[in-house]
Chains A and B, each alone.
Chain A
């Protein structure tokens, strides 16, 4: 990997962390408890389309770990990590089929993220009563994923390719 490429990945990691911080300023969870747009996933989806999958994975995992250290807790890390791994895995597979646009890939990723988090909540709280949140969190994940997919679609199309960006 070239130094330039490494520097770009570092910048994208910093950008993702700033977006995670900006997110904490938006009090969305007052409307739907626990709901987030997941702005930092703009970087994840962008990376998934523009960089190698392991580069996207490493930058996103670092972002999740570092933001949990800065703004989160052990429990919030467990939730973000589970949501991320399931949604990243699904998005990678859907993208690999070549049949879907980044909008559809990200929408499915948003839903998968929240489903994984509910699964973790069932495990943490020890009762499936948590499934009562499903009717709210499923649509919330869909909306957030679609929004991120729409915005990152623009970024993927508009941001020019650099000579060392071939992946």
Chain B
């Protein structure tokens, strides 16, 4: 055991540090997440809309490159459909905590949950 630790000391330090960083990021983000009040929608980094999470509705988000359909229900927001190729934003699922984000790269659209009401 001791020889193993000595032989692989550098490996253990490097992988250990990365594991700790990953755990801190992953768990910290979960715990620190406060419930959101609204979602902020940006296109190319510019704000294009803000919607309250309190109101159950579906919003079309038109952009230069295509359209995403944003659904808000029971305090959570998700992309119901998008006319892009990869559908990563649809697979991302529901977001509800402040700071959580859905990115649609093909359309340059980012949806983020914020603490402030719209």
A residues whose Cβ falls under 8 Å from a Cβ of B: 29-30, 33-34, 73, 75, 94, 99-101, 103-104, 107-108, 111, 121, 124-127, 129-130, 132-136, 138-139, 142, 146
- CA gap between A73 and B65 in the complex, in Å: 15
With A125-B44, A132-B99 known, 4 other A-B pairs at CB within 8 A are A33-B91, A107-B14, A129-B42, A142-B19
* B27: nearest chain-A partner, CB-CB: A135
Q: Count of B residues near A, CB < 8 Å?
A: 34
- In chain A, what residue has the closest Cβ to B113? A132
Q: Which residues of A contact B46 (CB under 8 A)?
A: 126
Cα distance, A33 to B18, chains bound together (Å): 21
Cβ of B103 within 8 Å of any chain A Cβ, yes or no, is yes
Chain A to chain B: the 7 pairs with minimum beta-carbon distance, closest first: A126-B45, A132-B101, A135-B29, A139-B22, A104-B11, A127-B45, A99-B10
- Which residues on the B side are within 8 Å of A29 (C-beta)? 88, 91
Contact A138 B21 (CB under 8 A): yes
> Can you list, as one digit per residue, whether each of B91-109 has a CB less than 8 Å from chain A (1) or not (0)?
1100000011101011010
Task: Evaluate contact between B15 and A134: CB separation under 8 angstroms.
Answer: no
By the criterion CB–CB under 8 Å, are A104 and B44 in contact? no
Pairwise interchain contact B11-A129, C-beta atoms closer than 8 A: no
Partner of A124, one of B14, B26, B85, B105: B105
Judge whether B8 and A125 touch: CB under 8 Å. Answer: no
B68-100 vs A: 1/0 string, CB under 8 Å?
000000000000000001001101100000011
5 examples of A-B residue contacts, CB within 8 angstroms: A100-B11, A108-B18, A127-B110, A130-B103, A142-B22
